[in-house]
Structure 1
């Protein structure tokens, strides 16, 4: 009876030690003891100096009485690496220590606070551009024309839309961009929608009587065309300085299917589109590894292996007769953070790279 109990206790102790060690932050060997915050720094950049997994930066700033909110760090602040009573590392601000009484809370409202990521890179995608499926776009109001016979309307024009709108409410006008196609299933994942203009409705319209709704153009980013989509505008859409970086709730594996830069290769802070979204329970702030399959090798057991792309037609055809195609491991090439999620696709920002990232690279959960 005693042996099973001892085995159970040993197993529990092992599991506890395993999960405890898995949660321990490991500081980089070359991490600086002190760091002076510079203009343009982000929390990601600073944490990358200390951690091999910078997305775990909230744990590095934990229980910090001098930094109530991690994003309230400013250029010129001196950060110091210390270790708590439990031996875990944390960063504290080494200058301008503010002593707070139990009933007093001080908030610094300067506009140059360090953000998690460079918001200027992702601002247009957070506040303007969208991804919507064909099903979601079906039946949405769209521009029929303007109050004068112009193909491209601008500010000051009155627009007419097919559909019923709410008078006095603001509406954004979007133009359909490229359709994103899943390279694995060949399914359409959604359409890119680019903001064209903002407007305000002043006639509701009546679909039953075929009467168009009317809108006054408030601000035009580009010329408005017939067929542009009309969607309710989101006033004051949140633009967070702080993203809660985390692993996805479910294991995720997918592909980078496009980039907004239209370049063949891209790097840190570039915006990419991945073929996974809310259907896989992805959320803004989820971190994913970028990995790339190594080239497949054809081995005929003759001491002369060749890459598949360099192999002869005979070697490829003879794979069932002694010529083996060996799939090599995937290697890490970078990380990305999801920041805007649609049903079947998401926008993400590349946070760091070890090699240039490409369309077609795989994304997997950390």
Structure 2
């Protein structure tokens, strides 16, 4: 279902206070770099910066690259410094004798993107997180033009609901619930795309006449009770993400990953328990942090809590502050959270959001904290 769109780039801009304008280049950053096929602006910036989301500041003073989105495989970039000591990337014209004007007009379709759009495109178009009550209001599949239990491409489906003739629809199935880790209540459910269809009869639900659609393609077998929503394939994708940190300090958790694996890594899509109710917006950047294990320092020396006595575990569960003395012989040390990665929010709902893991220091896990320092 995912179609690679090489010609579309996510244009990101960044607004930070003046105190954040000074860029620190990595010690091992190369003086020159040749752009490779598959590179993104984020990847290149990560070679030079500890915080790759600051990439616009690395390019913005560039007199030779009017638009950094028009960088192509084979171009050589050089790291230089301006009169104020600010680093910037410039095109090495001696390496490739093609004028910027020629590059813009002749190679436009080959320009590298800011982020790999094809990875998040399904979540910007089809994939959804929805309330169970909302799902129940949607038109749903009654059956097909044969008695087959599992319906695939080419089948005609009959739908309880009024549809618009000639319009395309996504066919969805209710998936797992996204659970609030604090209350145990569902925040929303996955709406899993199972196929697409085109309506050729509108239906009349008041008179018991089903709508009819023909399945155009199927990702998996379609079942009765799968529900339909207008397909938004071809809808304009967001051209700009304004990469910023949230305006207020907010903490949340990674509650799921789309891979369903225990651990995941860079460019995986995750779900966090923060949304519009927390003033989260697409483009917000978060650190991913993990709680370091608690240590009990007693008469036998320091031990991790999991290796300590039952009494120490009970005492630790009631401790709310760093280094509280539990008795004369032992101290419970609640260790800090350490950074293990970064993510960028790209799709926001009321109380949860989809985010792309943009960098990792360790494998990321469900339960890791997302925060703004």
Give the TM-score taking structure 1 as reference length.
0.85
2:125–2:233 Cα contact (<8 Å) kept: no
Name which of 258, 261, 274 aligns with 1:260: 258
In structure 2, what is the equivalent of residue 59 of structure 1? 57
**Aligned pairs (5 A) from 1:121-136:** 121-136=119-134
Over residues 109-141 of structure 1, what are the superposed CA-to-partner deviations in whole Å (9 max), with x where a residue is unaligned?
A: 543321122334333333332211223323111
| Alpha-carbon spacing, 1:241–1:109, altered in 2? closer, same or farther (3 Å) | farther
Deviation of the 1:58 alpha carbon: 1.2
In structure 1, what is the equivalent of residue 348 of structure 2? 341
Over residues 322-356 of structure 1, what are the superposed CA-to-partner deviations in whole Å (9 max), with x where a residue is unaligned?
A: 54432111111111122222222222222221122
In structure 2, what is the equivalent of residue 190 of structure 1? 188
Deviation of the 1:64 alpha carbon: 2.8
Q: CA RMSD in A?
A: 2.5
Q: Does 1:304 pair with 2:305? A: no
Over residues 140-170 of structure 1, what are the superposed CA-to-partner deviations in whole Å (9 max), with x where a residue is unaligned?
A: 1111111222222222322121222222221
In structure 2, what is the equivalent of residue 295 of structure 1? 293
Q: How many correspondences in the alignment?
A: 344
Distance 2:364 2:116 in 1: 19
Deviation of the 1:209 alpha carbon: 2.8
1:66–1:97 Cα contact (<8 Å) kept: no
Name which of 228, 231, 241 aligns with 2:229: 231
Deviation of the 1:176 alpha carbon: 1.8
Deviation of the 1:294 alpha carbon: 0.8
Deviation of the 1:29 alpha carbon: 2.4
Distance 1:108 1:132 in 2: 44
2:65–2:100 Cα contact (<8 Å) kept: no
2:126–2:231 Cα contact (<8 Å) kept: no
In structure 1, what is the equivalent of residue 99 of structure 2? 98
Gapped regions of structure 2 (runs ≥ 5):
1-16, 317-325
**Aligned pairs (5 A) from 1:73-222:** 73-95=71-93, 96=97, 98=99, 106-107=104-105, 109-222=107-220
Name which of 30, 33, 43 aligns with 1:32: 30
| Alpha-carbon spacing, 1:256–1:108, altered in 2? closer, same or farther (3 Å) | farther
Deviation of the 1:361 alpha carbon: 0.8
Gapped regions of structure 1 (runs ≥ 5):
1-18
Distance 1:210 1:251 in 2: 53
Distance 2:170 2:287 in 1: 35
| Alpha-carbon spacing, 1:89–1:325, altered in 2? closer, same or farther (3 Å) | same
Match of 1:172, SS state, is strand
2:140–2:161 Cα contact (<8 Å) kept: yes
Deviation of the 1:303 alpha carbon: 6.7
